[in-house]
Amino acid sequence: MDKSTQQQAQGKWEQIKGFVKEKYGDIFTDDEMEVEGSIDQLVGKIQEKSGESKETIKSFIDSL
């Protein structure tokens, strides 16, 4: 698997993980988990489309 395909697969996983955190964070009454889930989804979507690493994307978002 080439690096771009690997990053796209990782992006899909991040989206799924983020969705679960956002959807079920309220079960644990954890607002932080819901927000983290939304961020994970965003990072995953960008990673899937751009093929960039999660760290690069998070660094860019943090710099905003």
Q: How many residues does the chain have?
A: 64
Q: What residues contact residue 22 under an 8 Å CB cut-off, 6+ apart?
A: 33, 34, 37, 38, 41
- Give the chain's mean pLDDT: 82
Indicate the pTM of the whole model: 0.61
**pLDDT over 70 (residue 28):** no
Counting the structural domains of the chain, the total is 1
pLDDT of 55 strictly over 80: yes
Range of the domain at 14: 3-63
* Residue 60 clears pLDDT 80, i.e. is over it: yes
Q: Is the pLDDT confidence value at 25 over 80?
A: no
